[in-house]
A and B are shown apart, each in its own frame.
Chain A
Amino acid sequence: MNHEPDILGFACNWCGYAGADGAGQAKLQYPTSIRIIRVMCLGRVDPSFVLSAFERGYDGVALIGCHIGDCHYLSGNVNAQTVVEHLRGILDTMGLGRERLRMEEVSSREGPRFAELVRTFKDQLVAMGPSPLKKGKVELAEEGDRP
């Protein structure tokens, strides 16, 4: 079945988000499936943020941050790696599949890499089919919405 996947991206201010910005400025084409939330560091991404996204029906979640070793707060992305590994275990147990959660390293100058990652992630999610928790296109949360 062909479907339009919804992807939520958490991008760090210094690398991931700047990389996405770079892709935009270079007018690179990439799918509109992704919505980006800017965080100061991937270390800010609480496990509950990711699961909350899946609960709301997102098909995939990507954490996009600095290359390992380049974190502006030294170890935020390393901590995020651990969190992602455990969350993937949870997604497997839940039957959603670990592949729905990705962690990517994109530096501020790697716009093409960002565009490429959105493309491949989208293709992969199309192949996997919609998340069982999906109830249609994911609506944006209203202000004051609580988990």
Chain B
Amino acid sequence: MSRKPISASDLPCIQCNKCTHVCPQNMVDPAFTPRGYLLQALMGEGAELEAGPEVWRCLTCLKCREACPSSTDWVGLVRELRHNAKGKDQCFECKHGHLVQILQRMMANPAIEQKRLGWAEGLEFADRGEWFYFTGCLPYFDNMFTFGSHTSIAKATLKLLNAGGVVPVLSNQERCCGYECLWNGDRETFSKLAKLNIETIAATGAKKVVTSCAECFHTLKADYAEERELPFEVVHSVTLFAQWAREGRLRFRKTPTPGVTYHDPCRLGRYEGIYDAPRELLKGVAGDSFKEMERIRGDALCCGVGNFSNCDSNTKFLQHDRLLEARRTGAEVMVTTCPKCRIHYGCYLDGRPIEPVENLQVRDITEIAAEALEP
């Protein structure tokens, strides 16, 4: 399947300004206005936009499209403009020195033979089979964001899969999904990674791919499918586990947990429309101690960072705002289904928060569920 580039003249924007009103960047910096940028693009000034910092500051959280009456694909245009900018070497200043993209470019080289399964030692997995567990970058994150374990999410997912009677395939040949490269304008590396991953998965005979990351999920399901037809189905672990819990295939003991609340990640929520499954699973695990925040589902606030690049003081403000919102529900744990949301919030809590956010942990849904699993 080939992709048609988005051009500004195709965009049906009516300049109503709804997008600007819901935009989290605009909430902190009134000068950031997607409506204004769209006007620029519609007036044929796309090249100037491309060269400026605005396209790199958009969090690609998709709140704007949620509000837009004409479904204008501004985020699609952002991706396109970033791609063009990259082609002209108009790069952005990455706060991590492009670390994630460097890793992904290394992995895009077929000569690399990874040893990424250290975390799974002693656990049950297979080399071939119907199910493939796509771990994503988790094994790398343990050495990159050192304020906690990230492979704990992978372990919890594997444990839940096993408990549901599935022994999934894990592969050393799996590579990062390429999400960061794609959204930072490096489509070339993304395509290489997509090709290698599709081949790796297909070679194991897997027909169902499970991910425990909202971004891997969306990337595989939507963006890989744009590259070529997929010989497998992609499912986020939370959908699967909620379904298994409903069928009685997974049983949880309702332990009295401290209050929990749920943060919708953009790629699972606004991009893929999955809002109910995580809530169903959380209620199954935490019962009545599950409480909703004020801004939920399509209206959920973004974690403040897109593709590991545009973290700044605005980000910190958004994170603080969201964590306080979580705290206001009385919850002590804010649960999410995206390891990267957890990293970004974790980074905020571990670093220098604007003011301390007491008694709040950010955790992944799989960890909570695996701990509550009935033996």
Contacts and interface: CB of A to CB of B under 8 A. Distances in A.
A51 B106 CA distance: 9
Interface in B87-106: 89, 91, 96-99, 101-103, 105-106
B192 to A, nearest CB: 14
Residue with the highest number of chain A CB atoms closer than 10 Å, among B89, B105, B109, B143 = B143
B140 A90 contact: yes
Interface residues of A, number: 21
A84 to B, nearest CB: 11
B114 interface: yes
Contacts of B112: 94-96, 132-133
B102 A48 contact: yes
B99 A93 contact: no
Contact of B98 (A54, A92, A95, A147): A147
Interface in B61-105: 89, 91, 96-99, 101-103, 105
B107 interface: yes
- Interface bin, chain B: 20 to 34
B114 A94 contact: yes
A47 B99 contact: yes
Given A47-B99, A147-B102, A95 B109 contact: no
Interface in B166-190: 172
B146 A93 contact: no
A48 B99 contact: yes
A146 interface: yes
Interface in A82-115: 86-87, 89-90, 92-96
25 contacts: A46-B97, A47-B97, A47-B99, A47-B144, A48-B96, A51-B106, A52-B102, A55-B102, A55-B105, A55-B106, A90-B144, A92-B115, A92-B118, A93-B114, A93-B115, A93-B118, A94-B106, A94-B107, A94-B112, A95-B115, A132-B112, A133-B106, A133-B109, A133-B111, A146-B91
